[in-house]
Structure 1
Amino acid sequence: MSATISPLRSLEVLSQHEVNRLRDTSKAGLHDLLRRCSLAVLSSGSMTDDSLVLMETYHDFDIEVIQQDRGIRLKVTNAPAEAFVDGKMIRGIREHLSSVLRDIIYVYNEIQHHQRFDLTTGEGTTNAVFHILRKAGTLKPGRDPGIVVCWGGHSITREEYDYTKDVGYHLGLRELDICTGCGPGAMKGPMKGANLAHAKQRIGDGRYLGISEPGIIAAEAPNPLVNELVVMPDIEKRLEAFVRLGHGIVVFPGGVGTAEEILYLLGILLHPDNHDMKLPVIFTGPANSAEYFQRIDEFLVYTLGEAVRSKYRIIVDDPVEVARTMRQGIDSVTEFRRAHQDAFHFNWRLTVARDFQDTFEPTHTAMAGLALHRNQPVHELAANLRRAFSGIVAGNVKEHGLRAIEAHGPFQLHAESELMRRLDELLGSFVAQGRMKLPGQEYVPCYRLV
């Protein structure tokens, strides 16, 4: 399908310079970024998590920004037909497309090319994350804490998906909002459950936040329930946005992407500066997911020490208990922040070390050079393990990672022998349980343990 539309709830006026940057197809231009992110949004519901396949399937897709005296228009050509009904673009998809345009323009103009943001410092990076979220309208100071960040895989079983809906439903009944990576599976289920519960509670302004980034959005296109979409510039700022926005975190079964998120979170919470931080964390899934969390727990304890168990609670097959525990935890967060006069809408108190902020480019050299040994502070080991899992995610689903594997073969990871054995068992269990790709897709490992 082809159409020309006006942006919704987003930028309505651009300068000629901004329009030219969005049209520029050179390496320095923004057209390729806009095209890739826009195609992902228009392909919402697609049964592929391979960005190369998506781009090849719609190789003739294009999007152009047209400058007019009364504002801008977006011209899409050869877009997926599923994004339209009777020739008109679905309103939710149109909103998401507008959010993509807003964030690309804002990050390029005001973050990456503005001297007030020093992205080489922790303060500058956190400030950038704050301003991107504020520009998107995500920060709402007038609301009490109530955002539950839900992490988990996009490749999960039907039983696991139904369980995420049940948890979301009971969270919604307790007037809690949902924030996820915005894709399918464990990112969609909690939103769907909360949406029904909010309707029962007559909550008309329920929030279903989706936070993505350009490298992952094609594999995890925004699901239709997302009513606030933010596209962060990279995975590190995406992860920081989750932990700064969220008042509690629920982790469902997943694969390496979920393991990356867990290591990021626990590495931050284990930092000495965060010893008194109030942030409830629950690992949960149906009864047949118990082994998944047992393996995760064993790996975490071996790599990060017994003290890591104090940072999370595992609740199996009990959505009501998950929701009750999370509601109580968020009430404690509210009291803590009120006592310390902290903001409800953004966790400024949290210390995020530079190891968790520096952008990691998963090249073959960078992956081979990761320090995967226990002779270092636990939060530094967590940061390096997080980078390893991030590289595997890139090799599984991100366009640049897929191309690197295609050209140079699997990434090589070097680790001390026992840690390597534990890592091999964990990754092997993900493969055996079908958590590396969408159901029905064959998984070819993008890594090799050396």
Structure 2
Amino acid sequence: MTFKVDTSISPKRSLEILSQKEVENLRVTSKSEDSLHALFRQCALAILHSGKTTDDAAAMLDAYNDFEIDLIQQDRGLRLNLTNAPAQAFVDGEMIASSREMIFSALRDLIYWQSIRQSSSEDLSTSAGITDYVFHLLRNARALVAGELPKLVVCWGGHSINHEEYDYCKDVGHELGLRKLDICTGCGPGAMKGPMKGATIAHSKQRINDGRYLGITEPGIIAAEAPNPIVNELVILPDIEKRLEAFVRMGHGIIVFPGGVGTAEEILYLLGILLHPDNADIPYPLIFTGPASSEAYFVHLHEFIGQTLGIEAQQKYRIIIGNSQQAAKEMAAGIEAVREFRIKQNDAFYFNWALKIEHALQQPFDATHENMAALNLSLELPKHELAANLRRAFSGIVAGNVKPKWVRHIKKHGPYQIKGEPAIMEPLDRLLRSFVDQKRMKLPGSEYIPCYELID
């Protein structure tokens, strides 16, 4: 039985009031999935659903199809009325504090997007304009902290990893926390929660009371990867490309844990940046790590990168298996090199302005059948462009796997067709088959039905 709760909540210390226009925009219950009200409802439901081990976003939305959230602007300030909310987000009738904070973080971010769209104050036609937009989104969320030395480690990895992999992620987070480093993840469960959990214990040992556990997500994926309750700063970006740029611009180094297609997408996005000639001399520590039982995951990934992007791409990262302390020590050393470089270049610690990110990498990829079939997957492309196109292919597979809109699209029109040269499609096929064999496409126990076909 699904238990549900009706309640009313108000914010604390932020976003206490809205304009009449902002309230009107959020109260319009348009049938469009992209309406502001629909996006806020979906984000709020995902936040309230935190802790459930499911990556079936459509099933969650169906189970709570009667959930509704309404804004009330009154003289005393803003209130939200929630109807048929998941009971797990409440204790003795009162909403858990982290859930309430994150709901108002989502409201803050969505309202800011709307104000920017209406004012046309951002130029999204250029690479510099999009980077400026990402900067303003993060600044509005107060995620950019001036005056602090580099210490933010971005952790990527799967949301449905096994217990051994989760414990290893937690161990690495603990080692990072002991070195007084903060954690940023995609905010969900699995490899996004483990490092944060380990770091909280280490920060407590080091008597650090202001440790950062930053979660960055976007509306298209939040329902499948609901924020975990350790997150003490939640930022919701408009799309996956803005989310990825936020990770790379804010992070001082990145650790990749075992995952699946989404993790491979993130890796290819970053390699597409690091392989750009303009970024050749910019230090950016990148470590792949996991327990000994996960070595096969990184072996297949490393082989795929070598066969498609070459040795230069493989030299952009280190693989460390079964040694959480070494992974943390090398990340700390890499971040020290970042600090020295930024000082010499007189660049900000809190936002990496120096990285060159091509405009094509910043453009949202719409995972239609036509766009997936039209991807140029050829070894004749410059390596950073091939990495970007491979990233789009993986992004489409992620969408077809977990995003409700595209899951329905696949059911209606059949699987995507991904075309390319045999020298690319054969390694891609082996990699994707290894993900399926290792049960990295869905939670263990569920049968994976591919949303794609590979065609030479």
Q: TM-score range by the shorter chain?
A: over 0.9
Q: Say if 1:374 and 1:381, in contact at 8 Å, map to a contact too.
A: yes
1:414-444 Cα offsets, whole Å, 9 max, x none, are: 1111211110100000011011112222211
C-alpha distance in structure 1 between counterparts of 2:393 and 2:146, whole Å: 36
* Counterpart amino acid of residue 29 in structure 2: T
Counterpart of 1:249, as a letter, is: I
Percent pairwise identity: 62
Please name the residue that 2:74 is paired with. 68
Tell me the equivalent position of 1:50. 56
Structure 2-normalised TM-score? 0.97
Residues 150 and 249 in structure 1, CA contact (< 8 A), matched pair in contact too: yes
CA distance in 2, matches of 1:137, 1:308: 34
Which residue of 388, 394, 415 corresponds with 1:383? 388
Structure 2 gaps of 5+ residues are none
Partners of 2:452 and 2:262 lie apart in 1 by: 14
1:385-404 maps to which residues of 2 (within 5 A)?
A: 385-404=390-409
Whether 2:202 is the aligned partner of 1:200: answer: no
1:141-156 correspondence to structure 2 within 5 Å = 141-156=146-161
What is residue 29 of structure 2 aligned with on the other side? Answer: 25
Residue 9 of structure 1: CA displacement? Answer: 4.5
Please name the residue that 1:95 is paired with.
101
* Residue identity matched to 1:38: A
Distance 1:267 1:29, change over 3 A: closer
Q: The residue matched to 1:215 in structure 2 has which SS?
A: helix
The whole-number CA distance in structure 1 between the counterparts of 2:187 and 2:63 is: 22
Structure 2 SS opposite 1:284: strand
- What is the 5 A alignment of 1:18-417? 18-26=22-30, 27=32, 29-110=35-116, 112-417=117-422
Report the AA paired with residue 142 of structure 1.
Answer: G
Distance 2:312 2:446 in 1: 38
| 1:264-291 deviation line (CA, Å, top 9, x unaligned) | 0011000011011111000000001111
Q: Distance in 1 between matches of 2:270 and 2:125?
A: 21
Instruction: Tell me what 1:446 maps to.
Output: 451
Mapped to 1, the partners of 2:119 and 2:408 lie a distance apart of: 31
Q: 1:320 to 1:59 in 2, by over 3 A?
A: same
Distance 1:417 1:9, change over 3 A: farther
Distance 1:9 1:385 in 2: 43
Look up the equivalent residue of 2:77 and give its one-letter code. G
Q: Distance in 2 between matches of 1:189 and 1:17?
A: 41
How far 1:401 sits from its partner (Å)?
A: 1.0
Aligned AA (1:73): R
CA contact (8 A) 1:9 1:98 kept: no
Per-residue deviation, 1:408:
0.6
TM-score (norm: length of structure 1): 0.98
Contact map agreement 1:395 1:446 (CA 8 A) in 2: yes
Unaligned ranges ≥5, structure 1:
none
The one of 414, 429, 435 aligned to 2:440: 435
- The answer as to 2:19 corresponding to 1:15 is yes
* Residue-pair matches, total: 449
Pairwise CA distance, 1:323: 0.7
Q: Is the 8 A contact 1:23 1:29 kept in 2?
A: no
Distance change >3 Å, CA 179–CA 9, structure 1 → 2: farther
Q: Distance in 1 between matches of 2:390 and 2:42?
A: 29
